[in-house]
Amino acid sequence: MATIPIGTGRNWLRYFEYEERRDTPNETRNILLIIFTLIGAVTFQAGVNPPGGVWQESKEGKEAGSAIYASNKEAYYVFLIFNTLAFSNSIFVILSLTYKFPFHWPAPLSMAVTYGSAIFGVSPKKSISFRYVLITAAGPFVVRILVLIFNVFLRQYFVKKPTNNST
């Protein structure tokens, strides 16, 4: 069993870095799945039950069941955008790490739809523009598609193809 090096913080952190010779892909995938599942669970819970809770009764322009935090529109936007970004990134990584596994998409997709409906349910209708939230949720997937297109472009134009010079 390996021992953790004692000394400076830098050596201690280096011990936990990914090493291709030491860490197997299967082990690394499992660790990443645990981490991103935890991130997904925390952000899902924060979206369903926003900080400060929800109004219990309708009064003075406050709708029962809507987020109390939405009273501060700018702060609620920041929370909602970054929480959605973390959630959609976790869903994206989970889908990427379980690609080609049987039924790898139904649970994350269902969780994403449930998250979206919860956000729509607790957010006051007139205090938020949902197009920003939807754009944020689509962000990781759009970036991945752009990376794939860019890689195809690079391979097509910059990889030299063998020539057939048979003389």
The DSSP letter of residue 124 is -
Helix (H, G, I), strand (E, B) or coil at 44: helix
Coil, strand or helix at 77: helix
- CA pair distance 69, 149, nearest whole angstrom: 40
Q: Is 51 helix (H, G, I), strand (E, B) or coil?
A: coil
In contact, 63 and 84? CB cutoff 8 Å: no
| pLDDT computed for residue 16 by the predictor | 75
| pLDDT tens readout for residues 103-138 | 888 988 899 999 999 998 998 876 567 788 888 899
Vertex 138: Cα angle to 133 and 142 (nearest 5): 145
What single-letter amino acid sits at 25?
P
How far does CA 13 lie from the centroid of its chain?
25
Q: What pLDDT digit, counting tens, does each position of 41-92 carry?
A: 999 999 999 999 999 999 888 889 999 999 898 999 899 999 999 999 999 9
* Span of 15-19, 41-45, 53-57, 94-98 with lowest mean pLDDT: 15-19
Q: What are phi and psi of 67, to 5 degrees?
A: -65, 130
